[in-house]
Amino acid sequence: MEKEYDNTNGGALFPNDKKQKETHPDYRGNINVDGKEFWIKGWKKTAKTGMKFLSLSVTAKEEQQNRTEEDPF
């Protein structure tokens, strides 16, 4: 019998294989927070100090469905 996976408060980022412009995210994925689903995007950046980091942005999946035109990246 296969166990059902509980994805609550978890998510994943994957390399963006559809990136066409420098402004498109380097990573895309989804995350679940308290049972609510979000799209998550990540950009590789470098701070002024030279330290590398990942800048993130989240959009509620239901919010994105309500938009008439959305950048898929």
Closest CA to 59 of 44, 37, 42: 37
Which tens digit of pLDDT belongs to each residue from 57-67? 999 998 766 65
Does residue 71 surpass a pLDDT of 70?
Answer: no
Domains and CATH numbers, the chain: 11-65 (2.30.31)
pTM above 0.85, yes or no: no
- CA 57: distance to chain centroid? 7
SS3 labels along the chain? CCCCCCCCCCEEEEECCCCCCCCCCCEEEEEEECCEEEEEEEEEEECCCCCEEEEEEEEEHHHHHCCCCCCCC
Which tens digit of pLDDT belongs to each residue from 34-63? 999 999 999 999 999 999 999 999 999 987
